[in-house]
Amino acid sequence: MSLASVTSITATLLVIGIFVMLALNFDYIATNIESQVEMKAFLVDGLGQDVIESMKKNVESLDGVKTVTFESKTQALEKFKEKFNNNSYLLEGLDDRNPLPDSLIVTMISPNNAKEISESISKMSDVENVVYGKEVLDKLLKITYALRVGCLLLIAVLLIISTFIIANTIKLTVFARRREISIMKFVGATDWFVRWPFIIEGVVIGIIGSIITVLALSSVYMYFVKTLSGSMLGIMSFTIMPFSEIVIDTTFFVTCIGIFIGFLGSVISVRKFLKV
Partner 1 sequence: MTHFFCRIIKDFRSLCRNIILKGCDFLIRLNDVNKVFTDGHKVLNNINLHIQKGEFVFLVGSSGAGKSTLIKLMLKETEATTGKIVIDNEDITKMRRRYIPHLRRNIGVVFQDFKLLQEKTVYENVAFAMEVIEASPREVRRQVPIILSMVGLSKKYDLYPQQLSGGEQQRVSLARAMVNSPKILIADEPTGNLDPDTSREIMKLLVEINQRGTTILMATHAKDIVDNMKKRVVAIEGGRIVRDEMRGAYCRET
Q: Which of residues 123-152 bind partner 1 (CB under 8 A)?
A: none
Vertex 37: Cα angle to 47 and 32 (nearest 5): 145
Beta strands at 127-131 and 65-71: parallel, antiparallel or unpaired: unpaired
Q: Does 271 bind partner 1 (CB under 8 A)?
A: no
Say how far apart CA 98 and CA 23 lie, in whole Å. Answer: 46
Q: Which of 165/274 has CB closer to partner 1? A: 274
32-to-19, 118, 240 alpha-carbon distances in Å? 20, 21, 10
84-to-72, 81, 89, 131 alpha-carbon distances in Å? 19, 5, 10, 21
In the list 156, 183, 200, 222, the residue contacting partner 1 (rule: CB under 8 A) is 183
> Could you tell me where the DSSP H helices lie in 37-133?
49-60, 73-83, 114-123
Closest distance to partner 1 from the beta carbon of 16 (Å): 34
Q: Which of 73/185 has CB closer to partner 1? A: 185
In the list 27, 126, 191, 249, the residue contacting partner 1 (rule: CB under 8 A) is 191
Q: Does 224 bind partner 1 (CB under 8 A)?
A: no
In the list 54, 190, 219, 229, the residue contacting partner 1 (rule: CB under 8 A) is 190
Q: Is the dihedral of CA 87, 89, 90, 92 positive or negative?
A: positive
The residue range among 55-63, 90-98, 190-198, 243-251 that interacts with partner 1, by the rule CB under 8 A, is 190-198
Query: Residue 200's closest CA among 173, 176, 161, 168?
Result: 173
Query: Residue 134's closest CA among 50, 40, 237?
Result: 40
Q: Does 175 bind partner 1 (CB under 8 A)?
A: no
In the list 56, 73, 185, 271, the residue contacting partner 1 (rule: CB under 8 A) is 185
Q: Does 276 bind partner 1 (CB under 8 A)?
A: yes
Say how far apart CA 185 and CA 71 lie, in whole Å. Answer: 80
In the list 89, 179, 234, 237, the residue contacting partner 1 (rule: CB under 8 A) is 179
Q: What is the DSSP letter of 17?
A: H
- Identify the three-state secondary structure at position 106: strand
In the list 84, 145, 175, 193, the residue contacting partner 1 (rule: CB under 8 A) is 193
Q: Does 184 bind partner 1 (CB under 8 A)?
A: yes
In the list 48, 186, 227, 235, the residue contacting partner 1 (rule: CB under 8 A) is 186
Say how far apart CA 107 and CA 132 lie, in whole Å. Answer: 10
Q: Which of 191/249 has CB closer to partner 1? A: 191
The residue range among 33-41, 91-99, 184-192, 217-225 that interacts with partner 1, by the rule CB under 8 A, is 184-192
Q: Does 180 bind partner 1 (CB under 8 A)?
A: yes
Q: Does 267 bind partner 1 (CB under 8 A)?
A: no
Q: Which residues bind partner 1 (CB under 8 A)?
A: 179-180, 182-191, 193, 276
